[in-house]
Amino acid sequence: MKNKVARDIPDDILAATQRQVFNGVDYGHPVTQRVAPKVRATTGGDKIVASIDEVVTKTVADGMTISFHHHFREGDYVFNQVMRSIIDHGYQNLTLAPSSLTNVMNDIVVEAIQKGVVTNITSSGMRGTLGDAVSHGLLAQPVIFRSHGNRARAIEHGEIKIDVAFLGVPNADDMGNANGMDGDAAFGSLGYALIDAQYADTLVLITDTMKPYPNTPASIKQTQVDYIVKVDAVGDPEKIGSGATRFTKDPKELKIAKTVNDVIVNSAYFKDGFSFQTGSGGAALAVTRFLRQAMLDHQIKASFALGGITKPTIDLLNEGLVARVMDVQDFDKGAAASMKGNRDQQEIDASWYADPANKGAMVDKLDVAILSALEVDTHFNVNVMSGSDGIIRGAIGGHQDAAMAKLTIISAPLVRGRIATIVPDVTTVITPGDAIDVVVTEVGIAINPKRQDLIDQLSNVPGLPVYTIEALQQKAEAIVGKPKPLAFTDRVVALAEYRDGTLIDVIKAVKD
């Protein structure tokens, strides 16, 4: 059955997963029944457990769904220790439901699949050896990819039922009050993990820093925590933060960043009280820098900045150019360290950030979002999941979610090396073209034809060449030529959900 973005979702997949096909970005006003966890009462004397091995044997059973967060990113020491114990104990048939999988987790997940320990996975994304193995058919059941907002929605509605959450935290007390703000491995907002803490039947905290009771601010509360394990280290501080702390010096990236800024500043959304989400990486930091200057020049202040937060965004907060930072994740030490002392940097959970089924998410109030892409096609559909070789090497993250902004800008080079970014048809549709407003490249921009208002606002800006998306695609093709079509088998290895839980695309196994 073809969905709204013309992707064919096999009938057997629809039947087996009881999913609907993607039918548009408007979620409407359905009334849904939330679920709630089972809770074991305790006064707390039994919470401290001596080792990860012991807590695994106390809590895990065959067939369970287990979860983790990815706030430690490439500095994570927790996931591997817990999975090692689970594999060595020989548990079988587990569903792995982390907020995302980072590269440091790849090899052990491949091992867990090979040994039958993990037989189902839902994640924001995957890369490296794991993405490669899944794309080659290692896992019998298709992986389910969900955005951060959709994961919150799925947990709140029982589509993901977490039996045991193993959450690494940089500090906790002996009852489980914990936050991400203090300790050697501090990462700031616990945004994604807060959903696990609220909905898991059993919650295990793993920390390297015990605090006196009661530990506040308590982002995770003692009322949610069953067990606490003290280990030597939960993460590598050097690898938790994003590498980028200065804005890019790459001329192409700078050009794109400046053009993104031109689009924002010349749009009707750039006015006092506007809101924005930028993102991480050197190019995003450059956008933030340009935006800062534009706000100063035009005496405009923002009501909030959203999303994964970086130090330059915190600087805007401290400078008074942004009134609030709504913080689901911090990408660097500066942003992480700032949260504790600044109540205007509000920690938000993934549901508040982006769940379409709740009573209003931050993304619903977002004016401007700047997002990246592996591919954008002439329908404005965006792929952030599969590479030009068809192999899984990406993550939805908050892409579908933040694209609910009134002005959603895709910032991408026309080509990367010998590979076009603007293509006739993306390999995998993750975010539908209906949610995308402007595509910015180093040669110029394309505006979604359904946004006549933006076409009017942006068509006569000096130094801002406006093309059709088809023209940009042809420019890319002129540089790198037509690629050979990718060869896939008929076997579906992954499902891409839209943020409302419908199927927006499937990913098939690659032909070697």
Is 304 one of the binding residues for a second copy (CB under 8 A)? yes
Is 359 one of the binding residues for a second copy (CB under 8 A)? yes
Site string for a second copy, 262-291 (x = CB under 8 A): -----------x------------------
Rounded Cα distance between 458 and 48, Å, is: 60
Q: How far is CA 434 from CA 188, 310, 430, 438, in A?
A: 33, 28, 12, 11
Is 27 one of the binding residues for a second copy (CB under 8 A)? yes
Give the chain's radius of gyration (CA, Å).
22
Rounded Cα distance between 372 and 395, Å, is: 11
β-strands 438-440, 445-447: how paired? antiparallel
* Lookup: tokens for 498: 């839209």
Local structure of 452: helix, strand or coil: helix
Are residues 407 and 370 in contact, defined by beta-carbon separation less than 8 angstroms? no
Min dist. Cβ of residue 449 to a second copy (A): 24
Is 324 one of the binding residues for a second copy (CB under 8 A)? yes
Residue whose CB is less far from a second copy, 42 or 114: 42
Is 250 one of the binding residues for a second copy (CB under 8 A)? no
Is 357 one of the binding residues for a second copy (CB under 8 A)? yes
Is 24 one of the binding residues for a second copy (CB under 8 A)? no
Half-sphere exposure of residue 39: CA atoms within 13 angstroms, side-chain side: 13
Nearest partner of 151 among 223, 88, 99, judged by Cα: 99
* Lookup: tokens for 316: 């805007």
Residue whose CB is less far from a second copy, 329 or 372: 329
Half-sphere exposure of residue 25: CA atoms within 13 angstroms, side-chain side: 17
Residue whose CB is less far from a second copy, 202 or 441: 202
Where residue 247 falls (left for φ over 0; alpha for ψ -120 to 50; beta otherwise) is beta
Is 222 one of the binding residues for a second copy (CB under 8 A)? yes
Which of 56, 361, 507, 510 touches a second copy by CB under 8 A? 361
Is 148 one of the binding residues for a second copy (CB under 8 A)? no
Are residues 284 and 306 in contact, defined by beta-carbon separation less than 8 angstroms? no
Which of 230, 340, 416, 475 touches a second copy by CB under 8 A? 340
Which of 362, 369, 373, 445 touches a second copy by CB under 8 A? 362
Is 320 one of the binding residues for a second copy (CB under 8 A)? no
Residue whose CB is less far from a second copy, 55 or 110: 55
Site string for a second copy, 36-65 (x = CB under 8 A): xxxxxxxxx--x------------------
Which of 3, 351, 428, 448 touches a second copy by CB under 8 A? 351
Is 301 one of the binding residues for a second copy (CB under 8 A)? no
Which of 225, 382, 423, 472 touches a second copy by CB under 8 A? 225
Residues in the chain: 512
Half-sphere exposure of residue 211: CA atoms within 13 angstroms, side-chain side: 22
Helix (H) / strand (E) containing 289: helix 282-298
Residues that bind a second copy (CB under 8 A): 27-44, 47, 156, 175-176, 203, 212-214, 216-218, 221-226, 273, 303-304, 323-324, 326, 340, 343-344, 346, 351-352, 355-362, 364-365
